[in-house]
Structure 1
Amino acid sequence: MKAIDLFSGFGGSSTGAQLAGVDVVWAGNHWLEAVGVHALNHPNAQHVCQDLHQADWSAVPAHDLLMASPCCQGHSKARGKKSGNPQHDASRSTAWAVVSALEFHRPAQAIVENVPEFLEWSLYPAWSAAMNALGYQLAPHIVDCADLGVPQNRVRMFIICTKSKAPLFLNLPKHDHVAASSFIDMSAGAWSLVNKPGRAVATLDRIASGRKQFGDRFLISYYGSTKNGRSLERPIGTITTRDRWAIIDGDRMRMISVDEVMAAMTFPKNYHRPSTSKLAVHMAGNAVPPRAMAEIITSLRMAI
């Protein structure tokens, strides 16, 4: 089976496809640095750096599976959104590139990944009607990636698009959850004192709450509305595009490392990364966890 990857970013979907035994032959993204990193990790695929609204689909190799992760910023509630925001409108419109690509190549299957709020998009009925007009039945799956073996609670939507008489809902596995302690190295990283001068009161309050629940060793969210700690014996919370999770160990603490972010996302240890930690966290936080995509593709192949 051959696949292409639209909005390929850091390469989570492509890496997951490889894990599932699928050959990724083409990848496209608008961000030059992301395309460069993707090319290092997937050197056998053709790469295009451009706005995919304007892609020349005739130059894309034949394929059996289209994978696409249109920009989620216009749909996600993570940072809120305002009605009529032009940036959000432009972000949401990237989903129409999926329709254009499918119209030209008509592969047997497609997987569209996004946040669940994608289904609430005001133009989703029109988008799904366009997909139906091309002969694709749509089966949205709302999945916590932790159920697919990813050591992270990350709820995402995967729409399975097939040329079938009815939508194809997959029999997805439900694995035992993998604890954050499986990838956090307590002997590594740059630690500082919890009670160092200048530590934010909100952070100290979160730590105090966490101590009451979990003792001396636990996780906290360094920003956001979460006010409690988080056990290391459950999956970590959602990895985002900036440093979010901190480890508390007695009177010391540190942010989780890039290595730990990569492990939480299930990227291989030898995966090539950008030159800076900040950029690596940003790209990884935007990615599809490879393990999750591998499980989705494997279940799809078993169902067809």
Structure 2
Amino acid sequence: MGLIVDNFAGGGGASVGIEQAMGRPIDIAINHDPEATAMHMVNHPKTRHYTEDVWEIDPVKVCGGQPVDLAWFSPDCKHFSKAKGGKPKSKKIRGLAWVAIRWAVMVRPSVIILENVEEFKTWGPLDDDGNIIDGRKGETFHSFVEQLKNLGYKVDYQELVACDFGAPTTRKRFFLVARSDGKEIIWPKKTHGPGLKPYKTAASIINWNLPCPSIFDTTEDIKEKYGIRAVRPLAQNTMNRIARGLKKFVMDNPKPYIVDGKHTPFMTAIGQTGFTADRSYGCNEPIRTIVSKAEQCLIMPTLIQYHTETQKDEVRGQNIDEPIMTIDSNPRYGLVTAFIQKYFGGGYTGAGSKMDDPLGTVTAVDHNSLCLAYLIKYYGQGIGQPANNPMGTITSKERFGLVTVHGIDYCIVDIGMRMLTPRELFNAQGFPPDYIIDHDINGKKLSKSTQVARCGNAVPPAFSRALVMANCNNKVVGVAV
């Protein structure tokens, strides 16, 4: 039985998937960051860990003469990623992938798998200012592939999307597989999507029991009500994004997402520059790419049923620009709708995304929030009905903030927003729910920003599980998950 080695192991995402596929722990994990290694150690205690620069590791020495079945490589991707924009690149960081050639020469793993962003294929030389030379894009990448082939490896590469393999995120990644054992390279078949198992969605990773404070409350109000800290007032750009998401995913959406008959949230994100496309989405979609900062937000507008008090169908209640009434557990607060808001700054004009799609890519900075809209019924000519019915179509009446559920009108009376928690983001990446993220092997507590960074830099385990099961099934010794 040969060794399994995870280079650039980080907090352990690739290792989780490999272990699920192989039915046994990985043997060696290598990472330069002590904090990342400490998180890896607490979750993978049977693995031998090296907190060192990958170039300082001697593959022959650490492997002790044993054969290597699998060597996994996830070199730093940010100096290839389009998310970095036009900033100068680092030749040193972009050259980290060459360590795979070092392993191929010195210990000749049977299978090599390399993961990176899709732009990895454009790997080429830089000018003296650290900028990509346009006419030479892909030159270094092709040299890298040719070197593997010259060493006797079969080489192939593709791009895969995590939600196609059971993770609730749309994270897209480039994968290169190289084999020296004479066997064919196999690309895993999709398990989720149209005609297959349904996608796991953003809604599936949300803890709906956590408070989602009103965007109209002050920081002091929120502290008094919930005992938590929240930034208020929100920036005008943030409010604009919430408004766009509210219109798209609640007011103009014929089928807003409702959780447990109460919630129809949407998601949005903050922070990262360089994006001008629609970054909000519904909770019924896979979550978008998770980065290493907190970006994902949940938006929850409150819709309250209208009660007609005059012949002109005026409402009992309040306007959205007035102080918000207390929202309690009374049944009159029938529906809560939601979407994901994503904060990327830089003139972002998107509306967010739905809850019944996978979440987008999780990054190393927290940019994602949950938005909730609270609804109360409007009693006009229609007949009242239980509040746990599905959300219906939007009426064509010219009344701002009015939503129709099976012919019954609701008005928006409050909008809540909170950032997604580190646990929710790890769930979105597809980590096991019991994966330890809040402390390391030494018992040291990890800050939320550190947890999010570990998550955003992680490989969704669904990727490594699918690839390893397809290409290393003859090496499985336990029961693959």
| Both structures adopt the same fold (TM-score exceeding 0.5) | yes
* Percent identity between the two aligned chains: 30
One-letter amino acid of the counterpart of residue 185, structure 2: L
Matched residue, 1:208: 243
Moved over 4 A (4+): 164-167
Which deviations, in whole Å up to 9, do the C-alpha atoms of 1:203-230 show, x marking residues without a partner? 1121111112211311110225461121
> How far apart are the structure 2 equivalents of 1:56 and 1:165?
26
Secondary structure class of the residue paired with 2:358: coil
Pairing 1:9-20 to 2, within 5 Å after superposition:
9-20=10-21
> How far apart are the structure 2 equivalents of 1:282 and 1:73?
13
1:261 and 2:425 matched:
yes
Matched residue, 2:204: 182
> How far apart are the structure 2 equivalents of 1:23 and 1:33?
20
Does structure 2 retain, via aligned residues, the 8 Å contact 1:150–1:264?
yes
One-letter amino acid of the counterpart of residue 367, structure 2: R
Task: Return the structure number with greater strand share.
Answer: 2
Residue 60 (structure 1) shift: 2.2
1:141 and 2:158 matched:
yes
1:232 and 2:355 matched:
yes
> Given the alignment, which residue of 70, 77, 83 partners 1:72?
77
Does structure 2 retain, via aligned residues, the 8 Å contact 1:170–1:303?
no
Does structure 1 retain, via aligned residues, the 8 Å contact 2:10–2:458?
yes
Q: State which drifts further: 132-141 or 230-239.
A: 132-141
Residue 302 (structure 1) shift: 5.0
Matched residue, 2:311: none
One-letter amino acid of the counterpart of residue 75, structure 2: P
1:244 and 2:244 matched:
no
Does structure 2 retain, via aligned residues, the 8 Å contact 1:74–1:81?
no
Q: Where does structure 1 lack aligned partners over 5 or more consecutive residues?
A: none
**Residues 157, 147 of structure 1: CA spacing in aligned structure 2 closer, same or farther, 3 A cutoff?**
same
> Given the alignment, which residue of 116, 121, 143 partners 1:126?
143
Matched residue, 1:198: 233
Q: State which drifts further: 129-138 or 152-161.
A: 129-138
One-letter amino acid of the counterpart of residue 60, structure 1: V
Task: Return the structure number with greater helix share.
Answer: 1
TM-score under structure 2 normalisation?
A: 0.59
One-letter amino acid of the counterpart of residue 430, structure 2: T
Does structure 1 retain, via aligned residues, the 8 Å contact 2:188–2:467?
no
**Residues 244, 182 of structure 1: CA spacing in aligned structure 2 closer, same or farther, 3 A cutoff?**
same
**Residues 130, 42 of structure 1: CA spacing in aligned structure 2 closer, same or farther, 3 A cutoff?**
same
> Given the alignment, which residue of 166, 171, 175 partners 1:158?
175
**Residues 138, 303 of structure 1: CA spacing in aligned structure 2 closer, same or farther, 3 A cutoff?**
farther
One-letter amino acid of the counterpart of residue 133, structure 1: N
Q: State which drifts further: 18-27 or 167-176.
A: 167-176
Matched residue, 1:297: 468
Which deviations, in whole Å up to 9, do the C-alpha atoms of 1:147-199 show, x marking residues without a partner? 0110011000111111266972414223131111111012215x332235531
> How far apart are the structure 2 equivalents of 1:119 and 1:79?
16
Does structure 2 retain, via aligned residues, the 8 Å contact 1:30–1:52?
yes
Matched residue, 1:172: 189
> How far apart are the structure 2 equivalents of 1:162 and 1:151?
30
Matched residue, 2:334: none
**Residues 3, 166 of structure 1: CA spacing in aligned structure 2 closer, same or farther, 3 A cutoff?**
closer
Q: State which drifts further: 262-271 or 108-117.
A: 262-271
Q: State which drifts further: 18-27 or 91-100.
A: 18-27
Does structure 1 retain, via aligned residues, the 8 Å contact 2:103–2:109?
no
> How far apart are the structure 1 equivalents of 2:344 and 2:371?
15
**Residues 50, 302 of structure 1: CA spacing in aligned structure 2 closer, same or farther, 3 A cutoff?**
closer
Q: If you compute each CA radius of gyration, which structure gives the higher value, 1 or 2? A: 2
Secondary structure class of the residue paired with 2:36: helix
Secondary structure class of the residue paired with 1:170: coil
Q: State which drifts further: 150-159 or 193-202.
A: 193-202
> How far apart are the structure 1 equivalents of 2:455 and 2:30?
17
> How far apart are the structure 1 equivalents of 2:31 and 2:472?
26
